[in-house]
Structures are given as C-alpha cells and as structure tokens.
Homo-oligomer: A and B are copies of this chain.
Amino acid sequence: MHRNSAATVSGPVLVIGSGLLGASVGLGLSVQGVETWVSDISPTTEAVAADIGAGRSLARLVEQVGPESARADIDPQLVVVATPPDVAAHTVAQALEDYPQAAVVDIASVKEPVLLALRETGADLSRYIGTHPMSGREKSGPVAARGELFMSRPWVICEHDDVAPETVRLARGLATDLGANVATMDVQEHDATVALISHVPQVMSSLLASRLRETPLESLSLAGQGLRDTTRIAASDPGLWVQILSANARPVVETLYGVREDLNRLIATLERPTADGARLDIAELMTEGNDGVARIPGKHGGAPKAFSALTVLVDDTPGQIARLLAEVGEIGVNVEDMRMEHSQGQPVGMVEISVVPTARDGLVHELTERGWKIAE
C-alpha cells in the first residue's frame, strides 16, 4: 500500500483499543505516512501493537511527560475507538472530553446502544460518529492485524442529527483511506441489518452445531460440504458474541421470532407428515428459502446466478490446482469464484470453479480435451 495523494486523514490519529481491528487501523494508516498513536487498557497489547508498527505507544509518552502534556503533544485530528462494544460509549465520551479539538469515531459492531448511551452523557456529539467496518475475522489480537484488513470490505457510516459535516468527512476519509467501501445508514437500520445478515446467521449456525455434540464421530465422518458450510461460523469466539448479541438483543430477537414461528410450523407438519397439506407446507418453507437466498448479491454485486459452476476432479498432490488454474487462464477464462470440496480420507479432490455462463461450455470442452475430469 502506498501513500494515497487523495487521502483525507492527515493525522495525527489516536487509536484506543489495539486488538485485531484497532491495530489494523493503525497499521493501515501508518504505512500511508500518517502519524499514528496506539493505546490499550492492556499494556502488553499496546506494546505489541506498537512493536508491529501500528503506531507509537501513548502509555510510553505519558510515562515521559505526564498525561496532560501527552494529550496536548499528540493533539489528534481523529480518535478511533476500537474497544469491545460494551465499553465503547464510555471510551468515546472520555475521548471527546480529553481531546476537545478531535473528531471521534467508534468501530463497534452495534451502533444504536452506543449513540443512546452517549446522548445520556451530554457529550458534544457534533464531533462523534459511529461506524462499523465489516471486516471481522475468526482470529483476534494485534498479532493478527493487517493494514489490508479493510480493503474492498463494506464500512458503514451511521450519520445522526447532531453530527458536524467535518466529522462525517473524516470518518468517510478513514474508511476510504483504508481501502474500504463506504455505506451509509442510520443506527437503527444498521443494527437491524447486521442482526439479519450477521448475528442471526451466527445464532443459527451455533444452534445447529450444538446438535452435533453427542453425535458419534463415525456418523460425522459422512458429513458433506453442506454441514461444513452451515456450521463454519459456529467456531467463532463466544466472548465477543456474548457482547454483540447482548448489545443488539432487540433486533436479533425480532428476527428470531420469525424463525421460531416457521420452526414451530415445520415441527407440527413433520409430526403428521401424511396429513392433508403437509407436503405443501414443507414445499412452502423450502421455496421461501430459495427466494431468500436468491436475493443475496454475488461477488460483483449482481444476482447470485450470474455465474455458472463446473466441478473438476484433481489429485491431492502439490501443484495440481495451480496447474488447473493456469490452464483455465491459458484458455482465457476468468475464475469468478472457487471452492474446494472435502472428501473423506481419499486422494481425489473436487474443485468447483464459477465462471461467466457464456464461458462455461467452452471451458468444459477445453479442459476435457486437456485430460481433466469434469464431475459436473
């Protein structure tokens, strides 16, 4: 990443909270030449973040010159609060007080509770705006941080009635300087959106995976890609999710009411699978699922059926997938998406490649000519 001459944030920037996201913000700004400072309630985390180049340590400066001089010396243009959600509002309020010239953004994954809590403090909200970079990873801590973490990901900016234009400009600048795509919505819309696209999927995955605790391992050895895909995010960190689900409880529970209604209907139907209308009931549920998933945009923002898939059998030896993709490249076709399918303890793998529909038939023909086995 190089210094972008169109960058908005000129610095200095103080990042409070130096975990995965905070340290990644620091790294991404530092490599662009912005003067960046990091801070964390844990001295070890702060030191690690400073060591990896996320910014200079606020604590070390405070040791040298005392807290008041340190604040005056840094005089940040922007403070980024990257703490866990349950302390975000308190940290923002403190930052607004400590740095009366600075704009303050937080990046917590739930937005309305932070804004409501800040309103109660009577803080100067013209200098505050809530944001949410949608770049969570399964790993945590500053060691996992990367300046590129936000590239090409959505970063939601939640404007509110009291915010000043300069604060909005800096928040948008932070997101775009780090390579993210800015999306704008108000806090309620944001929280309802993430409940639906992130928090409820997490709950459903955990509920499903939880059923596997007593399953014999022999049965689980028959598991296919469907089970793997639906349970993957159930491996996420419980500590973080307790905070997220607690903070966004209302929108999550409102979506879960709908899930429960459908689940109760399905259970009643499956208790009498030969009753009149039972098959129609099941078909309706499945069709509703079809309709829902069809609305998720694909990689380039198009409809999910914008690409056609083919499955190629490959030997499980180094270089096979590279050779396959090199040949696809030679044929002149761009791979839009790809996934490798697991199989059970066997030396043959399957690679599913998605391409634009007009390219599929020709690609199947060319690959077959070259000796590849196409399984679908």
A interface residues with partner B (beta carbon < 8 Å): 134, 137, 139, 144, 146, 148-149, 151-154, 156, 179, 181, 183, 185, 189, 192-194, 196-198, 200-213, 215, 217-224, 226-236, 238-239, 241-242, 245-247, 249-250, 252-253, 255-260, 262-264, 266-267, 270-271, 273-274, 278-279, 282-283, 285-301, 304, 313, 316-319, 321-329, 332-335, 337-340, 342-350, 373-376
Contacts and interface: CB of A to CB of B under 8 A. Distances in A.
Contacts of A208: 200-201, 204, 259, 289, 292
Q: Which of A211, A227, A234, A347 has the most CB of B within 10 A?
A: A211
A212 B295 contact: yes
Given A149-B376, A235-B294, 18 more contacts: A146-B375, A193-B222, A197-B222, A201-B208, A201-B230, A205-B289, A211-B259, A231-B293, A234-B290, A236-B286, A241-B282, A242-B279, A246-B270, A297-B344, A300-B345, A317-B334, A318-B328, A319-B326
Contact of A245 (B218, B235, B236, B270): B270
B209 A376 contact: no
Please provide the 5 A-B residue pairs with the shortest distance between their CB atoms, ordered closest to farther: A206-B289, A322-B325, A319-B329, A209-B292, A238-B286
B345 A301 contact: yes
Contacts of A294: 235
A207 to B, nearest CB: 5
B197 A223 contact: yes
A238 B159 CA distance: 42
A112 B326 CA distance: 47
A298 B241 CA distance: 25
**A interface SS class:** helix
Contacts of A267: 253, 256-257, 260
Contacts of A179: 348
A117 B372 CA distance: 43
Given A149-B375, A200-B208, A263-B259, A231 B292 contact: yes
Contact of A263 (B241, B247, B263, B337): B263
Nearest to A313: B148
A154 B249 CA distance: 41
A289 B207 CA distance: 6
A158 to B, nearest CB: 13
A271 B252 CA distance: 10
Contacts of A151: 313, 346, 348, 375
Contacts of A211: 196, 200, 255, 258-259, 292
Contact of A222 (B156, B229, B241, B271): B156
Nearest to A342: B299
Contacts of A321: 325, 335, 338
A246 B273 CA distance: 5
B230 A230 contact: yes
Nearest to A253: B270
Contact of A201 (B148, B227, B246, B290): B227
